Amino acid sequence: MNILIKSAKVYNSNNKDIHLKTKDILIKDGIITKIADAITPEKETKVISKKNLCISIGWLDTSVSFGEPGFEERETIANGLKTAAKGGFTDIILNTNTNPIPYTSSTIAFIKDKAKEQITNLHPLGALTVNSETVDLAELYDMKNAGAVGFSDYKKPTSNSNLLKIALQYAQNFNALIYSFPMDTKIAGKGIVNEGAVSTGLGLKGIPALAEELQIARDLFILEYTGGKLHIPTVSTAGAVKLIAEAKKKGLDVSCSVAIHNLLYTDEKLEDFDTVYKVLPPLRTKKDVTALVKGVKNGTIDFVTTDHAPLDIEQKKVEFDNAAYGTTGLESSFGILNSIFDTETAVEILSKGRERYGLQTPEIKEGNTACFTLFDNDTLHYVTKQTSTSTAKNCMFFEEKLKGQVFGIINNTKLDIL
């Protein structure tokens, strides 16, 4: 297929010759063959021409859950990747909350096989421990050889300090990335929301910021002792940002992410007991939101993720105490980030991070494979239950005014565009 992208504003800070300039881009059989101010289309060429068309390298989300295998009613891999494409993502990192939990090379191979021939690339995480029970290390080396890009027990803290120490030491033999979810379960107790004035007023048990910060402090001490590569997913407190900033100044190989909803909302959203706002880590305070946004801007926080977690209505339409944690967000992420930050920063956030997972970063360059996200950076846009592609409808961003809209993606010699 030949594709000609007409008059697109290019967002590519690594190439100053085309960054923020309007260009035509010709793609033949998935390869970028020409970039110029104006290109005349040849016969049998699909021309993409839209008002306020912008383009960047394809976007990456580092924390995505679907359902398959085991929970296909929540989201299949095929439909989940279709949803990711609609959100502008050419690559996603898949979490380990499936059934069976992927703690063997055969399960990793199964997941990768299910994602073949899709327009969006799926890169699976493997479980850090057998069945994610946080007791015995899983087959890390074999899973990496099968295609796992890191190791995580999804939303489960590694309470055994020695286990994390051994994992970091062992993983250095094959340059693997180890996750540690930041929550001390003893401090968190039976808390389900942020501990503070809102939780007290609502009569809900709280998770103090201390639970996150104590775990992170412990993990960073272990990392300093062992060496290795540590990733702390979805931090949510001002104290966590400070701890990680100090660790990076020491030269420790640590990265972290924040969920997009923790950059936008505070725990005041809980006042109506709407379970769509029940997430883990919980929505925190304005002080935390301010620190997290600053952490993204100054580079302390490496990634912003949707932490996309599709759930059945039976898991959300229940009493707040009994509801499951999680929200979807793949289709809303650009509009939210583009509202919090300027477009250039939002695109940079969405585009970076592949190197941490050993993945190749695409380039907008003649002779390279086309891996693009196409979008409008200004039009006001809404995602609703009716327009959402995701099977699950537990999205806290429905009806939220979003600045900018994704037109689609080009990847793997395929085109998916509005």
Tens-binned pLDDT, residue by residue, of the chain (418 aa) = 799 999 999 999 989 999 999 999 999 999 999 999 999 998 889 999 999 999 999 999 999 999 999 999 999 999 999 999 999 999 999 999 999 999 999 999 999 999 999 999 999 999 999 999 999 999 999 999 999 999 999 999 999 999 999 999 999 999 999 999 999 999 999 999 999 999 999 999 999 999 999 999 999 999 999 999 999 999 999 999 999 999 999 999 999 999 999 999 999 999 999 999 999 999 999 999 999 999 999 999 999 999 999 999 999 999 999 999 999 999 999 999 999 999 999 999 999 999 999 999 999 999 999 999 999 999 998 999 999 999 999 999 998 999 999 999 999 999 999 8
* 307, 321, 342, 378: the active-site residue: 307
In this predicted structure, what is the pLDDT of residue 70?
A: 96
Gap between the Cα atoms of 106 and 298, Å rounded: 40
Closest to 70 (Cα-Cα) out of 12, 110, 104: 110
Q: Which residues pair with 369 in a beta bridge?
A: 31
- CA–CA dist 67, 83 (Å, integer): 13
Name residue 122's beta-bridge partners.
Answer: 92
CA–CA gap between residue 63 and residue 83 (Å, rounded): 14
Instruction: Mark whether 219 is an active-site residue.
Output: no
pLDDT value of position 399: 87
pLDDT of residue 384: 93
User: CA angle 332-336-337, nearest 5°?
Assistant: 120
Q: Are 93 and 179 in contact (CB under 8 A)?
A: no
Q: How many residues does the chain have?
A: 418
Sign (positive or negative) of CA dihedral 395, 396, 398, 402: negative
Side-chain half-sphere exposure of 122, counting CA atoms within 13 A: 29
Let me know: does 336 contact 402? Beta carbons within 8 Å.
yes
CB 243 within 8 A of CB 230: no
Q: How far apart are CA 124 and CA 407, in angstroms?
A: 26
What is the structure's pLDDT at 418? 84
Contact present, 134 and 163 (Cβ < 8 Å): yes
Residue 380, strand partner residues: 403
Provide the terminal-to-terminal Cα distance of the chain, rounded to the nearest Å.
17
Predicted confidence at residue 244, as pLDDT, reads 98
The residue type found at 43 is: K
Query: With a threshold of 0.75, does the pTM exceed it?
Result: yes
pLDDT tens figures, 162-184: 999 999 999 999 999 999 999 99
Read off the amino acid at residue 318.
Answer: V
Strand partners, 219: none
Give phi and psi for 369, each to the nearest 5: -70, 140
**CB 93, CB 149: distance < 8 Å:** yes
Q: Going from the N-terminus, what domains does the chain have, and what CATH number goes with each?
A: 2-55+364-417 (2.30.40.10), 58-357 (3.20.20.140)
Cα–Cα dist 121/1, whole Å: 20
* Nearest-angstrom CA–CA distance, 358 and 52: 34
CA 377 – CA 240 distance, rounded (Å):
31
Predicted local distance difference test score (pLDDT) of residue 127 = 98
* 227 three-state secondary structure: coil
